[in-house]
Chains A and B, each alone.
Chain A
Amino acid sequence: DGGITQSPKYLFRKEGQNVTLSCEQNLNHDAMYWYRQDPGQGLRLIYYSQIVNDFQKGDIAEGYSVSREKKESFPLTVTSAQKNPTAFYLCASSITREGGYTFGSGTRLTVV
């Protein structure tokens, strides 16, 4: 079955360490996205990519980095520069602007 896989589901890291969240899709979707959710807030866009080897900053890109070397994969690195990294991270993909997003199951990152 086609879908999006995010791993791991839960992640704990010490403050000051970089951490990479995985997102893989086998839907042949061109566009992929990373969102962050904090309590009481809507999903906020971190980065998105419309094609391989190209990506754009979203509203809250500071302290994050991404790569899009393959169509299927869009990993997100949370760097030590991100001031408040503890959050729930959702990855999504879409085939076109008209198409609905398909979401992964999310990664809950806790930095201690």
Chain B
Amino acid sequence: ILNVEQSPQSLHVQEGDSTNFTCSFPSSNFYALHWYRWETAKSPEALFVMTLNGDEKKKGRISATLNTKEGYSYLYIKGSQPEDSATYLCASCSSNSGYALNFGKGTSLLVTP
């Protein structure tokens, strides 16, 4: 995998549903994996930065896992709320790319009451 790929492209769930998204990234020369939430008319906001294989991070109802050997990360949202509606971006950086992140196209989540 040369690029960061995210799936699904978009998702529509009901309030209270739990959901998850996938991010695939190049596993060679891996350094870090970032997740961002981007709400309409706002700036992207950092959710998690993970560097170690097996990392799991949690912020409220949102959590993420990392598998650097196979090159994937999952983002989970438990009990989705309408305010979770946003585009979720995944990005990776490699050990030979300085600090620059390579972003996926994002997963657009819509949570309806």
CB distance from B41 to the nearest CB of A (A): 9
A102 to B36, CA, bound (A): 10
- The tally of residues in B whose CB lies under 8 Å from a CB in A reads 26
Contact between A98 and B51, CB atoms less than 8 A apart: yes
Q: Which residues of the partner chain B approach A90 to less than 8 Å between Cβ atoms?
A: 43-44
Contact between B100 and A41, CB atoms less than 8 A apart: no
Contact between B43 and A43, CB atoms less than 8 A apart: no
Q: Does A28 contact B (CB under 8 A)?
A: no
- The tally of residues in A whose CB lies under 8 Å from a CB in B reads 27
Q: Which listed residue, A40, A45, A99, A105, touches B100 by the CB 8 Å rule? A: A45
Tell me the B28-55 residues at the A interface (CB within 8 Å). Answer: 31-32, 34, 36, 42-49, 51
Tell me the A40-75 residues at the B interface (CB within 8 Å). Answer: 40-45, 48, 50, 56, 58
A96 to B89, CA, bound (A): 19
Q: Which residues of the partner chain B approach A85 to less than 8 Å between Cβ atoms?
A: none
Q: Which residues of the partner chain A approach B106 to less than 8 Å between Cβ atoms?
A: 42
Q: Does A89 contact B (CB under 8 A)?
A: no
Q: Which listed residue, B44, B51, B99, B105, touches A94 by the CB 8 Å rule? A: B99
CB distance from A5 to the nearest CB of B (A): 11
* A interface list, Cβ under 8 A from B: 4, 31, 33, 35, 40-45, 48, 50, 56, 58, 90, 94, 96-106
> What would be 18 A-B contacts, judged by CB atoms less than 8 Å apart?
A31-B98, A33-B101, A40-B105, A42-B4, A43-B89, A45-B100, A45-B101, A50-B99, A56-B100, A90-B43, A94-B99, A97-B31, A97-B32, A97-B93, A98-B49, A100-B36, A100-B46, A100-B47
